[in-house]
Structure 1
Amino acid sequence: MAALDTVSIAILLGSLLILAGILSSLLAMRFGAPLLLVFLAVGMLAGEGGPGGLRFDDVGIAYTVGSIALALILFDGGLRTRFASIRSVLAPSMMLATVGVLVTALLTTPVAKFALGIGWIEALLLGAVVASTDAAAVFFLLSAGGLRLRPRVRATLEVESGTNDPFAIFLALLLVEVLSVGGQSWSQAIFSLFRDAALGMAIGYGGGRIIAWVLNRVTLAQGLHAPFVAVSALVVFGFGNAVHASGFLAVYLAGLVVGNRQIRAHNSVVVFLDAITWLMQIVMFVLLGLLVWPARLADNLVGAVVVALTLMLVARPVAVFLCLWPFKFQWREKLFISWVGLRGAVAIFLASIPLLVKLPGATMYFDVAFVVVLFSLLIQGWTVAMSARRLDMSFSRADPAPQRVELDLPGQLTRELVGYPVSPKSPFLKRGLIPNWARPTLVIRDEEILTPPEAAPVRQGDYVYLLAPPEKAQALDRFFMESPAPRVPAAEALGDFVVSGSATLGALADIYGLQVAADHAEISLADFFTEQLGRPARAGDIVALGTIALLAQKVEGGKVTNVGLRLDEPEAAATVSGGAKALYGKVRKKLFG
Structure 2
Amino acid sequence: MEGSFELTLQIVIAVLAGITAQVTAEFLKVPSIVFLLLFGILLGPDALDFLHPHELGVGLEVLVALSVAIILFEGGLNLELRDLGRVSGSLRNLVTIGTLVTLIGGGMAAHWLGEFPWSIAFLYASLVVVTGPTVIGPLLKQVQVDRQVATLLESEGVLIDPVGAILAVVVLDTILNSSASPLEIFSGLVLRLGIGAVIGGISGFTLGFILKNTNFLAEDLKNLVVLAGVWGLFGLAQFSRSESGLMATVVAGIVVRASSIPEERLLRRFKGQLTVLCVSVLFVLLAADLSIASIFALGWGSVLTVLTLMLVIRPISVALCTFNSDLRWRQKLFLAWIAPRGIVSASVASLFAILLTDKGINGGESIKALVFLTIMMTVFIQGLSARWVAKGLKISSLEATGAVIIGCNALGRLMGRLFRQQGESVVLIDTDPEACRQAQSEGLSVFQSSALDPNVLEEAGIQSMGTFMALTSNGEVNMVLAQRALEEFHPPRVFAVFPSNSPTNSSSSKTKVNPAFVDQQLIKTWNQYLIEEQVKLGKTCFKEPGLSLQQAHFQALIRAGELLPLLIKRQGSLQVVKATQEWQEGDEIIYLLHDPRPKLLKRLSGAVQASSGAIQSTKELVVEPLPEVEEVPIASPVNELTLDSFKEAVNP
TM-score where L is the length of structure 1: 0.69
* Number of residue pairs the alignment of both structures matches: 456
Question: Match of 2:18?
Answer: 21
SS at the partner of 2:220? coil
Matches within 5 A, 1:383-398: 383-396=385-398
> Distance between the aligned counterparts of 1:115 and 1:479, measured in 2?
51
After TM superposition, give the deviation of residue 25 of structure 1 in Å: 2.2
Amino acid at match of 2:501: G
> Distance between the aligned counterparts of 2:106 and 2:74, measured in 1?
30
Check the 8 A contact 1:79/1:258 in 2, yes or no: yes
> Distance between the aligned counterparts of 2:120 and 2:285, measured in 1?
25
Check the 8 A contact 1:148/1:397 in 2, yes or no: no
> Distance between the aligned counterparts of 2:396 and 2:174, measured in 1?
44
Select the residue among 453, 460, 466 that pairs with 2:500. 460
After TM superposition, give the deviation of residue 165 of structure 1 in Å: 0.8
After TM superposition, give the deviation of residue 168 of structure 1 in Å: 0.9
Higher relative contact order (CA 8 A, sep 6+): 1
Aligned CA distance change for structure 1 residues 464 and 363 (closer, same or farther; 3 Å): closer
Select the residue among 301, 304, 307 that pairs with 2:305. 307
SS at the partner of 2:135? helix
Superposed CA offset, 1:254-295 (max 9, x none): 111111223253333222211111111111111101211112
Amino acid at match of 2:177: V
Check the 8 A contact 1:37/1:377 in 2, yes or no: yes
Amino acid at match of 1:137: V
Check the 8 A contact 1:60/1:356 in 2, yes or no: no
Question: Match of 2:278?
Answer: 280
Aligned CA distance change for structure 1 residues 5 and 110 (closer, same or farther; 3 Å): same
After TM superposition, give the deviation of residue 304 of structure 1 in Å: 2.4
Check the 8 A contact 2:516/2:576 in 1, yes or no: no
Amino acid at match of 1:365: I
SS at the partner of 1:224? helix
Question: Match of 1:481?
Answer: 515
Aligned CA distance change for structure 1 residues 579 and 56 (closer, same or farther; 3 Å): closer
Check the 8 A contact 2:475/2:498 in 1, yes or no: no
After TM superposition, the structure 1 stretch with the greater mean CA deviation from structure 2, 42-51 or 374-383, is 42-51
After TM superposition, give the deviation of residue 26 of structure 1 in Å: 2.1
> Distance between the aligned counterparts of 1:561 and 1:97, measured in 2?
39
> Distance between the aligned counterparts of 1:479 and 1:305, measured in 2?
44
Aligned CA distance change for structure 1 residues 428 and 91 (closer, same or farther; 3 Å): closer
Amino acid at match of 1:65: L
Aligned CA distance change for structure 1 residues 239 and 152 (closer, same or farther; 3 Å): same
Superposed CA offset, 1:14-72 (max 9, x none): 21331122123222223233211211222222222222254332564333322222211
SS at the partner of 2:113? helix
After TM superposition, give the deviation of residue 464 of structure 1 in Å: 4.6
Corresponding position: 1:35 with 2:32: yes
Superposed CA offset, 1:521-580 (max 9, x none): xxxxxxxxxxxxxxxxxxxxxxxxxxxxxx9998999xx98699xxxxxxxxxx993299
Check the 8 A contact 1:135/1:341 in 2, yes or no: no
Question: Match of 2:418?
Answer: none
Question: Match of 1:577?
Answer: 625
Check the 8 A contact 1:130/1:347 in 2, yes or no: yes
Amino acid at match of 1:390: G
After TM superposition, give the deviation of residue 428 of structure 1 in Å: 6.7
> Distance between the aligned counterparts of 2:481 and 2:316, measured in 1?
50
> Distance between the aligned counterparts of 1:292 and 1:490, measured in 2?
68
Question: Match of 2:432?
Answer: none
Amino acid at match of 2:626: G
After TM superposition, give the deviation of residue 157 of structure 1 in Å: 1.2
Check the 8 A contact 1:340/1:380 in 2, yes or no: yes
> Distance between the aligned counterparts of 1:475 and 1:109, measured in 2?
48
Aligned CA distance change for structure 1 residues 184 and 205 (closer, same or farther; 3 Å): same
Question: Match of 2:266?
Answer: 268
Corresponding position: 1:226 with 2:223: yes
Question: Match of 1:209?
Answer: 205
Question: Match of 1:470?
Answer: none
> Distance between the aligned counterparts of 1:217 and 1:431, measured in 2?
35
Check the 8 A contact 1:93/1:156 in 2, yes or no: yes
SS at the partner of 1:140? helix
Larger Rg: 2
Question: Match of 1:407?
Answer: none
After TM superposition, give the deviation of residue 354 of structure 1 in Å: 2.4
Question: Match of 2:136?
Answer: 138
> Distance between the aligned counterparts of 1:369 and 1:490, measured in 2?
65
Select the residue among 316, 322, 325 that pairs with 2:323. 325
Matches within 5 A, 1:155-174: 155-174=151-170
> Distance between the aligned counterparts of 1:458 and 1:393, measured in 2?
32
Aligned CA distance change for structure 1 residues 480 and 227 (closer, same or farther; 3 Å): same
After TM superposition, give the deviation of residue 475 of structure 1 in Å: 14
Check the 8 A contact 1:492/1:576 in 2, yes or no: no
Select the residue among 216, 230, 234 that pairs with 1:237. 234
Question: Match of 2:382?
Answer: 380
Corresponding position: 1:344 with 2:342: yes
Question: Match of 1:510?
Answer: none
Aligned CA distance change for structure 1 residues 460 and 90 (closer, same or farther; 3 Å): same
Amino acid at match of 2:248: A
Aligned CA distance change for structure 1 residues 39 and 59 (closer, same or farther; 3 Å): farther
Question: Match of 1:192?
Answer: 188
Aligned CA distance change for structure 1 residues 96 and 215 (closer, same or farther; 3 Å): same
Check the 8 A contact 1:47/1:54 in 2, yes or no: yes
After TM superposition, give the deviation of residue 438 of structure 1 in Å: 4.9
Check the 8 A contact 1:148/1:396 in 2, yes or no: yes
Check the 8 A contact 1:428/1:434 in 2, yes or no: no
Superposed CA offset, 1:353-407 (max 9, x none): 3223123221110011111111111111110111111111213399xxxxxxxxx
> Distance between the aligned counterparts of 1:476 and 1:373, measured in 2?
32
> Distance between the aligned counterparts of 1:61 and 1:28, measured in 2?
28
> Distance between the aligned counterparts of 2:7 and 2:59, measured in 1?
14
Matches within 5 A, 1:380-419: 380-396=382-398
Amino acid at match of 1:192: G
> Distance between the aligned counterparts of 1:460 and 1:437, measured in 2?
12
Check the 8 A contact 1:317/1:338 in 2, yes or no: yes
Amino acid at match of 1:394: S
> Distance between the aligned counterparts of 2:536 and 2:235, measured in 1?
61
Question: Match of 1:153?
Answer: 149
Check the 8 A contact 2:472/2:478 in 1, yes or no: no
SS at the partner of 2:87? helix
Corresponding position: 1:364 with 2:360: no
After TM superposition, the structure 1 stretch with the greater mean CA deviation from structure 2, 387-396 or 427-436, is 427-436
Check the 8 A contact 1:389/1:395 in 2, yes or no: no
> Distance between the aligned counterparts of 1:561 and 1:102, measured in 2?
45
Check the 8 A contact 1:110/1:123 in 2, yes or no: yes
Amino acid at match of 1:362: G
SS at the partner of 2:318? helix
After TM superposition, give the deviation of residue 198 of structure 1 in Å: 2.3
After TM superposition, give the deviation of residue 174 of structure 1 in Å: 0.8
